[in-house]
Structure 1
Amino acid sequence: MGFRHVVLFRWTSESTAEQRAGALAALQQWGRDAAGFGTLTVGPDAALAEGNFDTAVVVDLPDRATYLAYAADPRHQRMIAEHIRPILHSRAAVQHET
């Protein structure tokens, strides 16, 4: 059994294309940096339905304890503070056993 963390981001209407691209690049880099925790996939919405969030992140981890370490990692917190929060309109998240 594993543990999954899913996050959806909606960016502010004031955010620029450059800021959104920077957030996506930062999330992708974090996925590489966080490889020791588990597998992270990230991508922008395919724009197939109105009202969707802008970006999705799915992280597959071995267990809850690893998720807690992942979430508290200073590199993760710094990436959020620098690239996500400045353009964040809303966020939805769920963690569940797999």
Structure 2
Amino acid sequence: MVRNVVVGRLRAGVELSALEPGLTAIAALDPPGLVSLALGVDARLREELWDFAITSDFADEDAYRAYDADPEHGRVRRELFAPFCEQIARVQLVL
């Protein structure tokens, strides 16, 4: 299994609500091999953390790579996250 973890920080002055369309779009994707998905905005329990996180588990590396290359997934990243984010970090763990 491959776990994909994404965290992001918004640009100064961007409200957390700007993430709603992107998070909704990610949740609506139904890629083959997706085992589980958890996403949301930070609960603000500590200071100076990331603003959102997306964690998705895929059955195998091929399923993750197909998702990563999916045109609709790419559009969501470009149009619904990139304009609002100062920084996005990603890591894939093989479990």
TM over 0.5: yes
User: Alignment partner for residue 51 of structure 1, among 48, 66, 69?
Assistant: 48
Q: Deviations over 1:25-51 (max 9, x none)?
A: 223323xx33x3312211111111111
TM-score (norm 2): 0.87
Stretches of structure 1 that go unaligned for 5 or more consecutive residues are none
Distance change (3 Å), C-alpha of 1:43 and 1:18:
closer
Count of residues paired in the alignment: 94
Over the residues paired in the alignment, what is the CA RMSD in angstroms?
1.5
Instruction: Percent identity, please.
Output: 32
TM-score (norm 1): 0.84
Say whether residues 1:27 and 2:26 are aligned partners: yes
Stretches of structure 2 that go unaligned for 5 or more consecutive residues are none
Would you tell me which structure has more helix in proportion to its own residues?
1
CA distance in 2, matches of 1:80, 1:64: 20
